[in-house]
Structure 1
């Protein structure tokens, strides 16, 4: 075989790759799935106002191209998230942000059950080679200080045990701020989502960059 024929054969795979790129666009190396409840799903908001969409926009503004997958289900508990983790991982995310626990607290579920469910989620994701970050939640004060401390400690312990980053409180800066919450006092409005994104995005940026 002469050099010209060898050169043409070697070029064929590259041409195929380029044609595929032109047809489908570049494949994103970064895919962040958010396993969450109504705070992720954007209860009471249009899709463009919900946390996943606003986070993806904020990341792009920082020069980070990462598909953000909305795996939020309104009313979901940590048990529901644990039951759905295999389905979420079927989309082959590279990273997973776990935003669960609010509905566990509203139902006063035992912190031990929360820990077991979140532990299963983190372990399963890591077994699939997915990087994990936790977003913590606080229990309502009417459940008492003992319950509140035990609930908060779950996230701290899981972050320590699995060596994963923890954003301590997902609703930081928004909860109890009437102008940032919907009338139910539980879910953020569009402005509230923007505050959440602005506060959490630096940590997510570091998480995606492996820092």
Structure 2
């Protein structure tokens, strides 16, 4: 993959698990809902089942496993449990602050999360200023990953052709959306040995490596 000033005009970043350290909390909150419905999942099972997906889609998956409807307030239950698991302080993924400061192309966030949640988490981590309002929510687009519509909307809004965009994702759902949108994609995994990935998609395990990858380096 060739990247750099002649290959990338827009860097599109996922939120949970890429910029902010919340993916385990998201998966854990959904697993908690599962226990309320009689479905008990191990950590790796919750990760594989839920990571990157729309909350309602995850609740639908639990309904299928439980063979019973979810509580009527399932989404608020998940949101509240996630906040509890995150705790009083939210941190960016290690290396993110330094990486964002060194990336020299326009950046935006494209997430399956609601827009207000994107703003809240980026603000809590102190990194929202890097994006200058370039925040794209699937709830605003009406298209959730793996549908490529969210990424295509972000690129169109920024006036950048799809093949000049580089997407950073941690989940297969996001990777598949980027590929379907015709964009370059990198998969970020802190523990790459255990993480499922798509053949041919470069992976990296340290955010410190991101600027080099954007500007022409290789995955590490």
TM-score under structure 2 length normalisation: 0.37
Rg larger for: 1
Name the structure with the higher helix share. 1
Relative contact order higher in (CA < 8 Å, ≥ 6 apart): 2
TM-score under structure 1 length normalisation: 0.38
